[in-house]
Structure 1
Amino acid sequence: MTSGNDSTVSVLDLMCKDRYAESNEHKRKREEYAAEARNWAQRREQYRERSKEALKEAEALRPKRDAVNEEVRQIKERRDKAHAEAQELKGKDKEAYAKAREAANAIHEELLAAVERGHKINEEMTALYEESKVDRILSQAAHRKFVEARRNADREHNEFLESRKSIRGMRDEYAGRQRHAPGQEYRC
């Protein structure tokens, strides 16, 4: 026949084992969420770095684009001047008019080439700005996932602490009972 204290110890042992299992499960989940948070933080930083790099590349193209735009402006002035000179010769000197028109057309071809170069640079800059924007959006999404995983890890950590606190409470309760029942060993 078992005494009341023996059954109390058995129940406390079972309760402690359950609490330890619960505590260890919270610890496992906490570590899982913490690893997930680290993963999202790393991805967030990678996206941020890529966004910054694309933005830096786009900004590095700006002086080149501005120089081409200035070149286009100057060529337009030359073309307009050549075109005006050709118009002055129209109806006066057919051969001089043809040569002036030919010169204006050559300048216009030069203008088209410069405009095309400027357009390509602008497209490259736009693509880099878009890439930067996409990476920034991905970075923000990764940050939200990081925060969510961090909150979950914190919640599991708090539950882990609560379960350990509960185990200490059971130990203290049993120790108090032990004072009244000498010879019993605490096994929790």
Structure 2
Amino acid sequence: MSSSDDDSQQRFALGFLFALIALVISVVVGTVVVQRVGAKASAKPEAAAVASNAPAAPAAAEAADDTASVRVENGVVKFYFASAKADLAAGANEALADVVKGVAEGKKAVVSGFHDATGDAALNAELAKQRALAVRDALKGLGVAEDKVELKKPEETTATGSNAEARRVEVTLGAL
């Protein structure tokens, strides 16, 4: 009778072990599938642009990684921000060098905030303001007097696809 009980317990233990292994494999395979489906879904806007022979927008790359960045385009310094953040990207001081030089030559820095049309409009406007203030503070840190910096009211931007383009602050030079 004890031999029969031992066989029964061993069968139960082996069955339980196989079930546990099957569960672990199912979870791993499920996780991989979900990650691949998510990666394909985020790549679809770029694939659609390629399929239609349209050039991919530069902002699309920034939307994919949702990180802060800074660029200078045609004399305009553009700060892009991560979602719900007001932290400046690395390289901000270098990007602002020409603006600081222009202010020293008698111009003023005009700081314009932008935000997207999704979510609460008041919260978006406040976040755009905080981002603009962060850029103003960076200019002040580089020696620009506060009276040489003009803050423009946040503007709403309707972005196509991603809202990365809308989450920006632009700095231009203007006349005093």
Q: TM-score, normalised by structure 1?
A: 0.29
Structure scoring higher RCO (CA < 8 A, sep ≥ 6) equals 1
Report the structure, 1 or 2, having the larger helix content: 1
Report the structure, 1 or 2, having the larger strand content: 2
